[in-house]
């Protein structure tokens, strides 16, 4: 039932993903005080450097990772301003054996050092980043749709990471995701064109991903390594790992990944106008490391893609509104001529339809009702007007699913699934109503989003186990009303009222 659903989803929303208390074990972490004395260590310290975490607490950094590594890091720390985003300090060799990329960030009252185990025995090399980003920019210049730009980014990120599947995933108004571009290695099946329900990525995760633009899950089968002690000694609360690169992720999500047969995943946030527009989501069937330098490249590609999408959307929006304005201006030119308002309006009927991408339009002035194009029968329109005048209180009203809000809507879905009603008098029940026909469409979901597969151990909704295409057919909706269309409709009304006022004054003058 929808009740259990609401309960389940709110438990997803409450997963404390910023304060998991642990990290992913492909590296270790230390928190330090200003004097580089260790405050906390991850419990896997011993596996990585042979010292138990309790043995490290209260010790200077050099005692834990050796003099050479500690000196290098201390020098870098002295020369760099460390803020909440992890910065690369260098690659250190600990106990002449293992190499680690060291990331530093200062957050939640402590300095956190993260040591990511790496294969290479040298420093990270960021030099290839610039040609890569430069080439990407050049190629972007030759594309002109969001989909084409996204496809380029997907290819590029797959080349950088070596992952098997890279998808660009766009959120719609309801938060559902749509795969709009994809790059695949041999043997990986496609999710292109599929929808994923909003609940796959809960609210707090979206919030975090707007702040922290990249995350990596190295191996979905990992055993988390807890921080010791569990509470941040400075704040007395669990550490806020929002910006930590090794942050352990939600166990529910790890199950989701295993169900999807992807053991490694990386996702890069696409933030457009300050909002999470989508993600670049990367999968690999087997565990797969992506070192900091590659992640940085991916983060930059993601930022460039987001900026390009932003400017493309701005340009499209502008063009769309400009077109509407042209139609509106030409209509108003015609409306100022004749004497009778209704006659005047009927002379611009075709333009009115185009103006609001409608199938039909009706004008209601007192007892007069005039329709054009594909509209419901007059009696139904009059009934609708009665309802509107109680419901919309003289404001503009729009819906793309009338049957959902209006009891008699179901009988008029064919030509009036969508309506936009514009009151055109301040005193009387005068309306202009545009009607949009039903557009039956199908959604290919990656797995049935309505399937209940039982509660998990914590009573939460468990991730679905099948991602094979599940087709849903949507009835009773029209294409949605665009903000520009609503705003221009209001402008049109203002102009109409202006014309009416002028007309009334002229009449008064004539009468004198
Ligand atoms: C996180 N869910 C995520 C993330 C993605 C998805 C990309 C971000 C972490 C990452 O980079 O892997 C979902 N992954 C997808 C989708 C695609 C993909 C949609 O590749 C499609 C292409 N998830 C559930 C349910 C719950 C849930 C039912 O399915 C809740 C009970 C939770 N998902 C969940 C949580 C996170 C998450 C809590 C945050 C993980 C974290 O960052 O700690």
Nearest to 217 by CA among 179, 186, 255: 255
pLDDT, residue 50, reads 93
User: 281 CB less than 6 Å from ligand 1?
Assistant: yes
Structural domain tally of the chain?
3
Helix axes 2-14, 203-211, angle to 10 degrees: 30
Do 301 and 406 belong to one domain? no
pLDDT, residue 456, reads 53
Q: What is the pLDDT of residues 414-429, one digit of tens each?
A: 999 999 999 988 788 8
Cβ-contact 474, 401 below 8 angstroms? no
Asked if residue 159 is part of any domain, the answer here is: yes
Q: What is the mean pLDDT of residues 301-312?
A: 96
User: 215 CB less than 6 Å from ligand 1?
Assistant: yes
Last residue of one domain, picked from the residues 314, 346, 363: 314
- If you take atom 21 of ligand 1, which residue's CA is the nearest one? 196
pLDDT, residue 5, reads 44
Placement of tokens 């190295």 in the chain: 218
- Give the distance (Å) from ligand 1 centre to CA of residue 201: 4
Asked if residue 246 is part of any domain, the answer here is: yes
Q: Could you tell me the CATH number of the domain that includes residue 79?
A: 3.30.450.20
User: 177 CB less than 6 Å from ligand 1?
Assistant: yes
Do 250 and 395 belong to one domain? no
**Confidence grade of residue 4 (pLDDT, cut at 50, 70, 90):** very low
User: 398 CB less than 6 Å from ligand 1?
Assistant: no
**Confidence grade of residue 6 (pLDDT, cut at 50, 70, 90):** very low
Asked if residue 455 is part of any domain, the answer here is: no
Asked if residue 410 is part of any domain, the answer here is: yes
Do 96 and 222 belong to one domain? no
Quote the CA–CA distance of 247 and 318 in Å, as a whole number.
Answer: 41
Whether the CA torsion 149, 152, 153, 154 is positive or negative: it is positive
**Confidence grade of residue 118 (pLDDT, cut at 50, 70, 90):** very high
Quote the CA–CA distance of 159 and 399 in Å, as a whole number.
Answer: 44
Asked if residue 130 is part of any domain, the answer here is: yes
Q: What is the pLDDT of residues 371-396, one digit of tens each?
A: 999 999 999 999 999 999 888 777 89
Asked if residue 448 is part of any domain, the answer here is: no
Do 10 and 41 belong to one domain? no
- Give the distance (Å) from ligand 1 centre to CA of residue 341: 56
Last residue of one domain, picked from the residues 255, 283, 314: 314
- What are the CA-CA distances from residue 71 to residues 89, 103, 114, 370 (Å)? 12, 15, 16, 84
Do 150 and 295 belong to one domain? yes
Do 393 and 379 belong to one domain? yes
- If you take atom 18 of ligand 1, which residue's CA is the nearest one? 281
User: 182 CB less than 6 Å from ligand 1?
Assistant: no
Q: Is ipTM over 0.85?
A: yes
User: 64 CB less than 6 Å from ligand 1?
Assistant: no
Do 155 and 53 belong to one domain? no
Do 91 and 221 belong to one domain? no
Quote the CA–CA distance of 393 and 387 in Å, as a whole number.
Answer: 10
Do 367 and 423 belong to one domain? yes
Quote the CA–CA distance of 345 and 222 in Å, as a whole number.
Answer: 68
- If you take atom 35 of ligand 1, which residue's CA is the nearest one? 253
pLDDT, residue 453, reads 59
Q: What is the mean pLDDT of residues 88-106?
A: 93
Where is average pLDDT lowest: 6-10, 37-41, 197-201, 397-401?
6-10
- If you take atom 2 of ligand 1, which residue's CA is the nearest one? 201
Residue 460 has pLDDT above 70, yes or no: no
Nearest atom (ligand 1) to Cα of 177? 19
Collapsing DSSP states into helix, strand and coil, what is residue 104?
Answer: strand
The domain of 428 spans 336-440+475-511
- Mean pLDDT score of the chain, rounded to an integer? 91
Residue 188 has pLDDT above 90, yes or no: yes
pLDDT, residue 194, reads 94
Q: Could you tell me the CATH number of the domain that includes residue 403?
A: 3.30.450.270
Q: Could you tell me the CATH number of the domain that includes residue 9?
A: 3.30.450.40
Asked if residue 280 is part of any domain, the answer here is: yes
Asked if residue 169 is part of any domain, the answer here is: yes
pLDDT, residue 3, reads 37
pLDDT, residue 448, reads 85
Residues contacting 69, CB < 8 A, separation 6+: 92, 93, 94
pLDDT, residue 7, reads 44
Q: What is the pLDDT of residues 234-247, one digit of tens each?
A: 999 999 999 999 99
**Confidence grade of residue 501 (pLDDT, cut at 50, 70, 90):** confident
Q: What is the pLDDT of residues 17-54, one digit of tens each?
A: 999 999 999 999 999 998 999 999 999 999 999 999 99
Residue 362 has pLDDT above 50, yes or no: yes
Nearest atom (ligand 1) to Cα of 15? 38
**Confidence grade of residue 363 (pLDDT, cut at 50, 70, 90):** very high
Residue 454 burial (C-beta neighbours within 10 Å; 0-12, 13-18, 19+): exposed
User: 202 CB less than 6 Å from ligand 1?
Assistant: yes
User: 461 CB less than 6 Å from ligand 1?
Assistant: yes
Q: What is the pLDDT of residues 321-351, one digit of tens each?
A: 999 999 999 999 888 776 677 788 888 999 9
Q: What is the mean pLDDT of residues 478-494?
A: 94
User: 253 CB less than 6 Å from ligand 1?
Assistant: yes
Residue 176 has pLDDT above 80, yes or no: yes
Residue 197 has pLDDT above 80, yes or no: yes
Q: What is the mean pLDDT of residues 83-102?
A: 93
pTM for the complete prediction? 0.86
User: 250 CB less than 6 Å from ligand 1?
Assistant: yes
User: 12 CB less than 6 Å from ligand 1?
Assistant: yes
pLDDT, residue 452, reads 60
User: 265 CB less than 6 Å from ligand 1?
Assistant: yes
Q: What is the pLDDT of residues 284-293, one digit of tens each?
A: 999 999 999 9
- If you take atom 24 of ligand 1, which residue's CA is the nearest one? 200
Do 308 and 236 belong to one domain? yes
Quote the CA–CA distance of 21 and 228 in Å, as a whole number.
Answer: 9
Do 95 and 129 belong to one domain? no
Do 353 and 486 belong to one domain? yes
């Amino acid at each position: 039932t929808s009740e259990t659903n609401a309960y389940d989803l709110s438990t997803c929303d409450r997963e404390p993903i910023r304060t998991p208390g642990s990290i992913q074990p492909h590296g270790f972490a230390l928190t330090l005080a200003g004097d580089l004395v260790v405050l906390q260590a991850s419990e896997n310290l011993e596996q990585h450097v042979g010292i138990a975490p309790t043995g490290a607490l209260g010790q200077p950094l050099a005692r834990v990772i050796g003099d050479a590594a500690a000196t290098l890091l201390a020098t870098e720390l002295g020369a760099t301003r460390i803020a909440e985003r992890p910065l690369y300090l260098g690659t250190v060799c600990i106990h002449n054996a293992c190499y680690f990329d060291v990331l530093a960030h200062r957050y939640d009252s402590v300095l956190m050092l993260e040591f990511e185990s790496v294969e290479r025995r040298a420093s990270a090399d960021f030099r290839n980043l610039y040609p890569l980003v430069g080439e990407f920019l050049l190629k972007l210049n030759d594309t002109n749709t969001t989909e084409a730009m996204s496809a380029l980014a997907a290819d590029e990120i797959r080349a950088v990471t070596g992952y098997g599947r890279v998808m660009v995933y766009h959120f719609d108004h309801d938060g559902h995701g749509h795969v709009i571009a994809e790059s695949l290695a041999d043997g990986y099946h496609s999710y292109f064109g599929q929808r994923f329900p909003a609940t796959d990525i809960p609210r707090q995760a979206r919030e975090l991903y707007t702040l922290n633009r990249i995350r990596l899950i190295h191996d979905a089968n990992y055993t988390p390594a807890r921080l010791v002690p569990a509470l941040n000694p400075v704040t007395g609360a669990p550490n806020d790992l929002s910006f930590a690169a090794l942050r352990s992720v939600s166990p529910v999500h790890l199950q989701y990944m295993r169900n999807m047969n992807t053991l490694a995943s990386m996702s890069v946030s696409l933030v457009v106008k300050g909002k999470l527009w989508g993600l670049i989501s990367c999968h690999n069937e087997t565990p797969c490391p992506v070192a900091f330098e590659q992640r940085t490249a991916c983060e930059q590609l993601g930022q460039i893609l987001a900026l390009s999408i932003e400017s493309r959307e701005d340009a499209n929006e502008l063009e769309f509104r400009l077109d509407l304005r042209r139609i509106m201006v030409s209509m108003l030119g015609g409306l100022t001529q004749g004497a009778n308002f209704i006659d005047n309006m009927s002379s611009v009927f075709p333009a009115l339809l185009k103006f609001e991408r409608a199938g039909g339009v009706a004008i209601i002035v007192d007892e007069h009702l005039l329709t054009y194009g594909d509209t419901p029968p007059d009696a139904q329109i009059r009934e609708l007007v009665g309802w509107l005048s109680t419901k919309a209180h003289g404001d503009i009203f729009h819906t793309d699913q009338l049957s959902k809000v209006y009891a008699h809507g179901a009988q008029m879905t064919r030509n009036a699934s969508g309506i936009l009603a514009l009151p055109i008098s301040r005193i009387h029940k005068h309306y202009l109503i545009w009607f949009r026909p039903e557009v039956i469409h199908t959604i290919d979901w990656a797995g049935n989003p309505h399937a209940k597969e039982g509660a998990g151990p914590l009573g939460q909704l468990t991730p679905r186990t099948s991602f094979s295409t599940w087709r849903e057919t949507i009835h009773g909706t029209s294409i949605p009303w665009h903000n520009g269309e609503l705003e221009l409709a209001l402008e049109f009304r203002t102009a109409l009222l202006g014309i009416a006022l002028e007309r009334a004054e002229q009449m008064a003058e004539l009468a004198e």
